[in-house]
A and B are shown apart, each in its own frame.
Chain A
Amino acid sequence: MSTRVLVPSGVLGLGFDSQALKRGLELRPDIICIDGGSTDSGPFYLGTGSSKYAHEIYKSEWRELMIARERGGIPLVLSSCGTCGTNSMVDWMYELTKEIAKSLKQNIKVALLYSDQSIEYVTEAFNARKLSELNPAPKLNNEQLSKFSNIVALAGAEQITEALNTGADIILAGRATDTAIIAALPLKNGDSSGGAWHGAKIAECGAFCSTVPNSGVILVDFDSTGFTVEPMALEARCTPDSVSAHMLYENVDPFILYEPGGYLDVTNATYTALSDRKVRVEGAKWVPSADYTVKLESAYVSGYQTITMVIVRDARYVKNIKVWVAKLTKFLIKKIEINTDLFLNDYSLDFHLIGINSALGELETEVIYPVEVGVQLVVTASNQKIATELSKLINPYILHFPLTDTEPLPTFAFPYSPAQIDRGAFYEFGLNHVMSLKEPMDCFQLKLHELSYD
């Protein structure tokens, strides 16, 4: 049988075209699927179990989708709730769902799929050699594992299917692969597995696979030989180029995509225009693996930071800014050694030269001297007190440090008072590993709630 999937946008919180959503709904889809997360904004969100977008944005978009779901009488699936997909974010989306259901007087069944992994569970798997490194992987040992503030496993189609099988109207899933929610129903319905995963990858960013990326809404028809994709915004078009190019996006290998339980190979896929806005895709292959593995993500506190910013406008200092930073750094290391109990490995000083090479660092190839340079000093230490204290110690020198010993002390521009800004805990990603499971649901939990507000 065929399956019609409506994808409102690449991520909840990014916005979508309401008229396009309405048009999509009129075409009677079988399910609405939207992704809620990504590691793209960095480790802070997973480290803290928090979301990137504003609460009010989630609320208005989710409300619109909950209304669409009721009109269509079809399931609505959100995965990787609240950017990072931790249990805390699934619960947070559930609270929001309850609040909206109450105000809309909806009676709904809500399934919650949890992806959090305890340190004990993952350590046991690590010691039992059930963790395998992906390339490249950070070094792992029991001590490093104990530092992780959050670990999530990425659910695949199997876990989403379990949630669909409960008959839930709304599924709020923790961390999952971007494609899993879209591929799950076509796979369950027996559509082509290569087509299901390929179509899911093409639609996972919403209208990114069309000529108007920010229009959001995409409709995909899956069947036994492949899929057909069409944008719902009238001004958008899907072309063989716009669709096939999406396999490149954020993908290391443009032909292969690894998922729990196997991989997708699109080497022999064909892309054919059915009209000036609709594309037919066939020929992708799903290759199941012998071992069932899920990818893990984690983050941990690797230090605490304080930032100090000073603006250097003096042309001579701008021309010699790298020399100035090198001299200042040497001076500061000595100063800290003399005046504190700290050693070099207790802290770090990173100078970012805004206007010179702050985006690319050592890779920068352009050498053009600007009118002014923003010197951003990032102090990282094992706790906030040290980071703040060191920044205060450094304050007079970053303001007044001279290029040579025989010249009057300069005074640069501090834009703020106080000059330093505490950043708090600083997180890093800790895993690029997969964990093998006996059964797909081994490390995921499913909960079902019935809400009745009419």
Chain B
Amino acid sequence: MIKLGDVVKRIRSKNAGPFWITVDIFCGDLKVFNLVRNTITTSMVLQLTKVPAKALKRFELEGLMVVKFSFHRQAIQGSRGDRDMHGAQIANLFLELDVKVLV
């Protein structure tokens, strides 16, 4: 199994205020960027984050070779259902995505 974390340079996630989490996928080069752009579909990310479609934004930044996803926190930061105050551990779900189709 090949994971997304094995092909890209870096993935980080972080709160963007108490109501959003944002995930930055730094692809490292244009070839990987194009692969990620075409392979990591929005519906894959919806499934991974369990957010409704209208609560997810997708950005593709060719200059930085970054694919970015921002989505509503399903539990507001620090609320009873929240397990991760800074939202930084959710990046691991993306790092561990099975992407054998990529290579």
**Residues of A participating in the B interface, judged by any CB pair closer than 8 Å:** 39-44, 134, 136-138, 241, 244-245, 248-255, 302-303, 348, 350, 352, 358-363, 365-366, 380, 426-429, 432
> Which of B24, B55, B79, B96 has most A Cβ within 10 Å?
B79
Cα separation A429 to B85 with both chains bound (whole Å): 12
B96–A366 touching, CB < 8 Å: yes
Closest residue on chain B to residue A361 by CB atoms:
B83
Interface check B89, CB cutoff 8 A? yes
What sequence of 0s and 1s flags, for each residue 54-91 of chain B, a beta carbon within 8 Å of any chain A beta carbon? 01010101011010101010001111110111100110
- Residues of B close to A380: CB separation below 8 A: 80
Number of interface residues of B (CB under 8 A): 38
- Residues of B close to A428: CB separation below 8 A: 76, 78-80
Given contacts A42-B78, A249-B14, A253-B70, is CB(A359)–CB(B89) below 8 Å? yes
Chain A nearest CB: distance from B62 CB in Å? 12
Given contacts A361-B83, A429-B77, is CB(A244)–CB(B64) below 8 Å? yes
- Residues of A close to B50: CB separation below 8 A: 362-363
**Residues of B participating in the A interface, judged by any CB pair closer than 8 Å:** 14-20, 22, 24, 26, 48-50, 55, 57, 59, 61, 63-64, 66, 68, 70, 72, 76-81, 83-86, 89-90, 92-93, 96
Cα separation A41 to B85 with both chains bound (whole Å): 7
Cα separation A50 to B29 with both chains bound (whole Å): 44
Determine the main DSSP class of A at the interface with B: loop
- Residues of A close to B26: CB separation below 8 A: 245
Cα separation A125 to B16 with both chains bound (whole Å): 26
Cα separation A352 to B81 with both chains bound (whole Å): 10
Given contacts A244-B63, A365-B93, A429-B77, is CB(A40)–CB(B16) below 8 Å? no
A248–B66 touching, CB < 8 Å: yes
Interface pairs A-B: 3 shortest CB-CB: A42-B78, A252-B70, A43-B78
Chain B nearest CB: distance from A351 CB in Å? 12
B57–A360 touching, CB < 8 Å: no
Partner of B20, one of A252, A302, A358, A426: A252
Closest residue on chain A to residue B84 by CB atoms:
A359
Cα separation A309 to B50 with both chains bound (whole Å): 29
